[in-house]
Amino acid sequence: QLQLQESGPGLVKPSQTLSLTCTVSHGSISNGVYYWTWIRQYPGKGLEWIGHIYYTGITSYHPSLKSRLTMSQDTSKNQFSLKVTSMTAADTAVYYCARGNPNSSGWGIYFDFWGQGAPVTVSS
């Protein structure tokens, strides 16, 4: 069964850049037509889709975060990554990586596999 595991620092200082990596096992990120996705959950429990990188390398980002985001993939390591610049306290959240699976209809996707989550606190 596909597994995803986030890794990265649990604490980031304000104005610094957050770097997270998701390692995928029991499946290849370069096979298939999946959207390798980042989602975060705020302390108040709200969930926010951050963006995804398609298996072709094409990215799509949340408009409100677009200027601060970079997503990439390393197929040799079966990993994909997220960078968020200019971090503030408002970015404190649990960051999840997930697989986006396209609907058979050809429109829409669903998120069927998730990592366990990486808590990130922004504080000096």
Partner 1 sequence: DIQMTQSPSSLSASVGDRVTISCRASQSIGSYVSWFQQKPGKAPKLLIYAASSLSGVPSRFSGSGSGTDFTLTISSLQPEDFATYYCQQTHSSPYSFGQGTKVEIK
Which residues from 16-55 bind partner 1, rule CB under 8 A?
Answer: 45-49
1 is a contact residue toward partner 1 (CB under 8 A):
no
Note whether 68 and 61 are within 8 A (CB).
no
Give the DSSP H or E segment for 66. Answer: none
Residues composing the chain: 124
Question: Judged by CB, which is closer to partner 1: 64, or 124?
Answer: 64
Residue 16 has phi, psi (to 5 degrees) of -80, 175
110 is a contact residue toward partner 1 (CB under 8 A):
yes
What residue ranges bind partner 1 (CB under 8 A)?
A: 45-49, 60, 62-64, 96, 98, 103, 105, 107-112, 114-117
